[in-house]
């Protein structure tokens, strides 16, 4: 499970610079998708093998100084609620300001780890000036210069140390597959869950964004058992007016990170728009199983080719990862809802599938022999051996003599062959080349 680290502080202390530096430590940046995450305010980082999500709260508080006083309190309060570790950032050039003291006052009451980070400390004189921040009553501090990165290593050591210990999921509840129902507001997420459970547990209204929190519901019917996670509608950034919205987005992001399969619901009358695509790619980057449900299909004028054409349009947007199940449903008329759940369970089984090494080599080596990697710079690549890695989602290592010469198109070819032979419908898979 990914923990959340929030960076808080008044404007212009360098929160975004630190944020950008932290997320770029990773090769595979989950680049904060514009829309789902209000530009670049959510990202992934890892340090010493521990992965965590980072929120930069900076972009959320706008307005003149007097409005800002009220806003910053709310922003900090929300970060306190959501995050596992809080980085409180101040700036040595300005010294301790009244606003810093207000934030510190809030943070002193918190039960969670708070690390005081003093930015712009790039010479000895400034390191001496930093001493005045002891007056904030938050104990030891870290001095950094986020612009050139000095001091961030020590800070990250402390962050990883402060993160909650990773708990093994061994309880029966935790072993159940988790299906997150995600999509933009008013696509029918809560109605879908109500239709499944058969009780009006969620308030369903026509007001966008009624569901504020992610709520878990245990589902046990027709021989299936799993946890359903309903999330607040993720919406476009122009609509994210209040901090609460931002945190409901964070919870949706967190629900995607912590689930096994994402059930992405879209409104057929609006189509597979940019917002839904953002959600899809967020799930794909997090390597989750994915099922797309096209809801309100009863409201669309249809001819005999409608479903086929609609499906084709969606798949065009999904390239190169088109091996995703698409189910057309109407929550209102309870059409094909059971089919939707059946499909999600199949995708979950595909995602947790383990293939024996002997079987993998028996099937894949002849395929590779028939169509070996093209020579590159006059060098021939020989793939000798394949194994599935012991990870929660399907990842495969191909051992060869010259891994650096295998180009992306050939890796895609191998991925497609694995899909064909072993059925990974709805599941992103990763292919790695390793030195034999």
* Binding site residue list for GTP: 9-16, 56-60, 119-122, 183-190, 230-234, 295-298
Residues facing 216 on adjacent strands: 229
What is the side-by-side order of every strand in the sheet holding 215-221?
A: 215-221, 224-230, 178-182, 261-267, 289-295, 326-328
DSSP 153-195: HHHHHHHHHHSPPPPP--SHHHHS-EEEEE-STTSSHHHHHHH
Q: From residue 181, give the alpha-carbon distance in Å to each of 190, 365, 387, 391.
A: 9, 39, 32, 24
Measure the CA–CA gap between 381 and 360, rounded to whole angstroms: 19
Tokens encoding 340: 């939707």
Secondary structure string (H, E, C) spanning 238-288: HHCCCHHHHHHHHHHHHHHHCCCEEEEEEECCCCCCHHHHHHHHHHHHCCC
Q: How many CB atoms lie within 10 A of CB 339?
A: 14
Measure the CA–CA gap between 259 and 228, rounded to whole angstroms: 9
Reduced to 3 states, what is the DSSP secondary structure of residue 113? Answer: coil
Q: Using an 8 Å Cβ cutoff, are 401 and 309 in contact?
A: no
Length of the chain: 436
Write 345-349 long-range contacts (CB < 8 A, 24+). 345/177, 345/224, 345/226, 346/425, 346/426, 347/261, 347/289, 347/290, 347/291, 347/425, 347/426, 347/427, 348/177, 348/179, 348/226, 348/260, 348/261, 348/289
Phi and psi (nearest 5°) for 420? Answer: -60, -45
Cis previous bond, 387, omega within 30: no
The binding site consists of: 9-16, 56-60, 119-122, 183-190, 230-234, 295-298
Measure the CA–CA gap between 18 and 122, rounded to whole angstroms: 14
């Amino acid at each position: 499970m990914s923990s959340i680290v929030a960076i808080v502080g008044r404007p212009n202390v360098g929160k975004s610079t630190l944020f950008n530096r932290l997320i770029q430590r990773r090769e595979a940046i989950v680049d904060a998708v514009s829309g789902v995450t209000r530009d670049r305010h959510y990202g992934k980082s890892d340090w010493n093998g521990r992965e965590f999500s980072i929120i930069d709260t900076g972009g959320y508080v706008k307005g003149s100084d007097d409005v800002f006083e009220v806003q910053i309190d709310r922003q900090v309060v929300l970060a306190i609620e959501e995050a596992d570790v809080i980085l409180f950032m101040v700036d040595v050039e300005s010294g301790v300001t009244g606003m810093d003291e207000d934030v510190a006052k809030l943070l002193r009451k918190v039960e969670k780890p708070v690390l005081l980070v003093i930015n712009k400390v790039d010479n000895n004189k400034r390191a001496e000036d930093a001493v005045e921040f002891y007056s904030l009553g938050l104990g030891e501090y870290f001095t950094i210069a986020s612009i050139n990165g000095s001091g961030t290593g020590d800070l990250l050591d402390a962050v990883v140390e402060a993160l909650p210990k990773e708990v093994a999921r061994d309880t029966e509840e935790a072993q159940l597959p988790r299906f997150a129902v995600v999509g933009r507001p008013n696509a029918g997420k809560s109605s879908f869950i109500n239709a499944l459970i058969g009780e009006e547990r969620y308030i369903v209204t026509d007001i966008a964004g009624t569901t504020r929190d992610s709520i878990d519901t245990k589902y046990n019917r027709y021989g299936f058992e799993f946890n359903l996670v309903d999330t607040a509608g993720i919406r476009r950034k122009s609509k994210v007016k209040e901090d609460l919205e931002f945190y409901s987005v964070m919870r949706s992001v967190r629900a995607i990170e912590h689930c096994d399969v994402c059930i992405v619901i879209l409104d057929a009358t609006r189509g597979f728009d940019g917002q839904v695509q953002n959600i899809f790619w967020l799930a794909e980057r997090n390597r989750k199983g994915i099922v797309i449900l096209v809801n309100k299909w009863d409201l669309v004028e249809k001819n005999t080719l409608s479903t086929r054409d609609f499906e084709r349009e969606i798949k065009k947007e999904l390239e190169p990862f088109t091996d995703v199940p698409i189910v057309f449903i109407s929550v209102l008329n309870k059409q094909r809802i059971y089919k939707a759940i059946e499909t999600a369970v199949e995708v979950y089984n595909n995602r947790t599938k383990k293939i024996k090494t002997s079987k993998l080599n028996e099937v894949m080596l002849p395929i590779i022999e028939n169509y070996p990697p093209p020579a590159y710079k006059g060098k021939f690549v020989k793939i000798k051996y394949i194994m599935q890695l012991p990870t929660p989602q399907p990842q495969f290592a191909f051992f060869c003599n010259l891994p650096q010469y295998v180009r992306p198109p050939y890796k895609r070819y191998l991925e497609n062959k694995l899909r064909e032979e072993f059925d990974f419908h709805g599941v992103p898979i990763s292919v790695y080349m390793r030195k034999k």
